[in-house]
Amino acid sequence: MNHAQCAIYENLLESFLNGTFREGDLLPGERILAKQYGTTVMNAKGAVSLLARRNLVKRVRHAGTFVKHLPGKEILAPLKNVHEKLSLLLHSANPTNIHWDESTMEKFTLCMEEKLYRVLPLQMPSELEVLREFLRACVSLSPENVTILDDNFDHLSLYALRDLFQDFPCPVVRLNRSGASCPMNTPNTVSLDLDHFRNGFLAAQEALKKPCSVRIVYGVAEHLTRNRASFHAYEKEDGLRAAFLEGGALDVLYLPASGNTLAEIEEKVRENPGDTVIIAVNSQFAALLHDFLAARSLFPPKDYLLLSIEIARQYEKYRFGGIVMPREKTGGLLAKIACGKNLRSLAEMRVSFRMEGFFVPGKTF
């Protein structure tokens, strides 16, 4: 769009925001708009066409252009900056900082802008009925693609509204804590998860860098049935075991999270002060172990090295290291997938994701 078209488009949007034009109102004709803004009819037509493309107005032959039902101001106001291809970035509030953070969003936005998309970040409401109306408003905008960052969100709510995601006339890419285990199962949706195998592998490699007598993995699953709820834990454990086996560490202790285990780890640390590496399968277990040992005057890194296969904002006060994939890389990957024309071709990218309910594993990310 040129400068004149952008000016008309933005001013009309402002008139929707301030109530000058409401639902059902007739807009000035394109010749009137052209005269009002001192430009050509083609420029006025281009501005109105973009409003129609976003389903904000409806053209009725021989009657004129009418204002349609408008989304809320939280969606309508940012649209003033969107003149070309629209990319919706729907995100939850207060992410755990494990799977995505601001750097993810920044990298995603940069990559999309390089592909001439304008990213519109919108925070998803948590209440189910409000979320339903929010998604309907997003669908009505007819975006060119949709990306969802719903870490720390009610995944069942999104799953309950999966039919709305199918209404998007574009690809929907979803990154979250349980994307591979709770997919949307719609033909246009890719549920992408982090490669937990790779993160486990990296954590074990980090532990192998330190020469030590004792290596412990804390928080492994106690049962052998690989159900969907335990998928992430098993992927991490498989990665850990593969790296330790590759590195020749055959005496690693794999211990579940229990009171007896905590006492056993304390005993190992006291027997081998400064010569023990412990990997917790997540930050919650790492914090639990840290607090237990600290209450007994054992602290990292003086007495032992503690690593977690993730890191979350609420655990930043703890002195243990987190092994995670760079969130900036995640943002770039999401942008690449969002701009993909053929979702089925994504299998060649070797990432872990689901399409229409079928899991496609990958060991690199």
- Domain ranges, ordered by start, for the chain: 3-72, 84-195+327-360, 196-322
pLDDT tens for each residue of the chain, 365 residues long: 889 999 999 999 999 999 999 999 999 999 999 999 999 999 999 999 999 999 999 999 889 999 998 998 989 998 888 888 999 999 887 776 667 778 889 999 999 999 999 999 999 888 889 999 999 999 999 999 999 887 656 667 777 888 888 888 888 888 765 544 555 667 777 777 666 777 788 888 888 988 899 999 998 876 555 555 556 778 788 889 999 999 999 899 999 888 889 999 999 999 999 999 999 988 889 999 999 999 999 998 899 999 888 766 677 788 777 666 666 777 888 888 888 755 555 544 445 555 444 444 443 32
User: What pLDDT does 7 receive?
Assistant: 92
> Which DSSP helix (H) or strand (E) runs through 280?
strand 276-280
Cα–Cα distance measured from residue 255 to residue 8, given in angstroms and rounded to the nearest whole number: 65
Q: How far apart (Å, rounded) are the C-alpha atoms in residues 281 and 289? A: 11
Tokens matching residue 135: 């998604």
H runs (alpha helix) in 220-361? 231-246, 259-271, 283-294, 327-338
| Peptide bond preceding 301 in cis form (omega within 30 of 0) | yes
pLDDT, residue 363, reads 36
At residue 172, the pLDDT reads 86
Q: Residue 344: what pLDDT?
A: 53
Which residues neighbour 155 within 8 Å (Cβ) at sequence distance 6 or greater?
A: 176, 177, 178, 182
Q: Which of 35, 77, 38 is nearest to 56 (CA)?
A: 77
Kindly report the pTM of this predicted structure. 0.73
- Cβ atoms 229, 191 nearer than 8 A: no
Cβ atoms of 300 and 319 within 8 Å: the answer is: yes
Is 15 in contact with 22 (CB distance < 8 Å)?
no
Question: 243, 279 in Cβ contact below 8 A?
Answer: no
What pLDDT, on the 0 to 100 scale, is given for residue 350? 47
Q: Do domains 3-72 and 84-195+327-360 have the same CATH topology?
A: no
The whole-number pLDDT of residue 96 equals: 65
| Structural domain 3-72, CATH architecture | Orthogonal Bundle (1.10)
How does strand 305-308 pair with strand 85-91? Answer: unpaired
Confidence (pLDDT) at 330? 78
- Report the alpha-carbon distance of residue 170 to residue 59 in Å, rounded: 23
pLDDT at site 98: 66
Pick the CATH number of 196-322 from 3.40.50.720, 3.30.70.20, 3.40.50.2300, 3.40.190.10: 3.40.50.2300
Q: Is 73 left (phi over 0), alpha (psi -120 to 50) or beta?
A: alpha
Per the listing, tokens 């719609």 go with 186
- Which CATH class, in words, describes the domain spanning 84-195+327-360? alpha beta
